[in-house]
A and B are shown apart, each in its own frame.
Chain A
């Protein structure tokens, strides 16, 4: 899915218990055994950043731009901090794939779509403990066995 152009959306909960929706721009598995995932996302809103402290839970949904087939993973945040060079390079690559896929399907000019890209970014690591099929349809939200 990531190689075809994938939209990444994030849900976090602030310390005040308020949900916040955000976009992520890069994602990768950093440890297969613990199902630890690292994603790089916008840090442009301080309320979102406040919800990314270690110990809090994060939800990330990845959706195939062409089919809207989607999977949501959830788990506790183990670390959050500045994005490194690997994160930024991956973000450049995966965001290009995402924007080009949108352009191919919906004809939106990529140069206009770049307005979506964040100005400040933050990276987050979390361990996947739950995964759900999030594709639109009657089975949306069904638990999947392997993330």
Chain B
């Protein structure tokens, strides 16, 4: 730290919400008030905005005495600053308000409070003095990490673009993109979710770096940080999740009784995750999915990560939509790889081996193998349809086109994501080591492998 007075630009990391800020104000009779702040943002080089939710006493004090004092701490170096402020105005709309509102919504979403806990106003203050508090020499100084290398990132982006462009179907696109994020940009924990046909739910189609099941997890649009990124088509970023969740839980307890239980979200969880960034994957003005990265680093992601991942997400969206369009146009007019001859004696083919009891629940399209849940929804109905055909006549080769015409799948007529659903089903079966597998045999064609004798049961309850 140099001897020069710090400026607001030096304090950027302090506004990330990692370490709670402290604010003191004074009433007309000189009685001080001191409280923690939920969020603050830098407005420009001379002003900051502070979220105003519960600060009724602070608001009254500011009306009597516009001066305030705030303690901020850099979450990496642990340098602490005291800034002196003068209250200028309150905003209830506009750019600054929206930035703070997004932060508050992210905070609230961590405990399902997004419909209850909302920003009332953004109080704008002019900064009149910034002082760095003398750090205790007994503590260890950790220098901030170097910024990302823009030239290296640009080269990585070019390589990722090339790899995605070379990928021939959605299955490959997903794998190539997630692998490249890890290998070329260092995002080793990532999830890609796609929007369902109704535009209400996201389902995970692929992930890297998670120990738990990663395919088929569902998130409602608007729910949590990931769902909000989809609903708003805007990147959502949170660091120091432990701190933020703690604050959000504290707010939640204050609303006891007015918060509805949140549906359990089964997205894969990175053990000890402290940072999450979710960016929408949009093409031609349409949301295709959400790309999510996690890290155990409390201050892992910043604006440059948002920019990088937004580019990758857009390319992913465009590539996936392109493949879907080709697949929907499909049919005999498009060149496709010829299906290989029906395999004979494959270890996964034929009605030999153990009895495989599959149960189907029409109410939600869920399929169980024995007592183990496999998949539900459109992908579940597809699996059930394939199993019924195989059980009745031993068929193993299928086409997307015939599936589209199958009324039992309840596919939306105007636009389906059949290919994505098939990939989801294929990955889910692979991930579980199921005795039933799907193998792609060409564009719009696939083969069912069954390692056992099927027994199919339908539960109508």
Contact = CB atoms under 8 A, between A and B. Distances in A.
B250 A57 contact: no
A39 interface: no
A140 B61 CA distance: 15
Nearest to B116: A138
For A57, A111, A112, which residue has the most chain B Cβ atoms within 10 angstroms? A112
B243 interface: yes
A76 to B, nearest CB: 10
Contacts of B131: 45
Contacts of A74: 31-33
Contacts of A113: 78, 139
Contact of A19 (B68, B80, B141, B247): B68
A45 B26 contact: no
A20 interface: yes
B154 to A, nearest CB: 32
B261 interface: no
Nearest to A141: B57
Interface in A34-69: 42, 44-45, 51, 56-61, 63, 66-69
A117 B135 CA distance: 7
A37 B71 CA distance: 23
Contacts of B249: 67-68
A19 B24 contact: yes
Interface string B6-24: 0000000000001010111
A131 interface: no
B25 interface: yes
Given A9-B34, A18-B67, A63-B36, A116 B253 contact: no
A19 B254 contact: no
Nearest to B133: A44
Contact of A112 (B78, B133, B272): B78
B65 A17 contact: yes
B79 interface: yes
Query: Interface residues of A: mostly helix, strand, loop or mixed?
Result: mixed
A29 to B, nearest CB: 19
A115 B139 contact: yes
Given A72-B35, A115-B139, A141 B79 contact: no
Contacts of B35: 9, 61, 70, 72, 134, 140
A51 B77 CA distance: 29
Chain B: interface size category = 35 or more
Nearest to B272: A107
B78 A11 contact: no
A30 interface: no
A12 interface: yes
B399 to A, nearest CB: 52
Contacts of A112: 78, 139-142
A2 to B, nearest CB: 17
B138 A117 contact: yes
A9 B24 CA distance: 9
Contacts of A68: 20, 36, 246-247, 249-250
Given A21-B23, A106-B240, A115-B135, A72 B34 contact: yes
B401 interface: no
A17 B71 contact: no
B69 interface: yes
A119 to B, nearest CB: 6
Given A106-B298, A115-B78, A115-B141, A20 B24 contact: yes
Contacts of B26: 11, 13, 17-19
Contacts of B31: 13, 57, 59, 74
Contacts of A18: 26, 67, 69, 84
A139 interface: yes
5 residue pairs, one from A and one from B, having the closest CB atoms: A137-B254, A115-B139, A11-B34, A11-B32, A114-B139
Given A21-B22, A57-B31, A114-B139, 16 more contacts: A9-B71, A13-B30, A18-B84, A21-B70, A21-B71, A57-B30, A67-B246, A69-B250, A107-B274, A111-B140, A116-B73, A134-B36, A135-B254, A136-B247, A137-B250, A139-B254
11 contacts: A21-B82, A58-B32, A59-B31, A59-B32, A61-B35, A107-B272, A115-B139, A116-B136, A117-B136, A119-B137, A140-B254
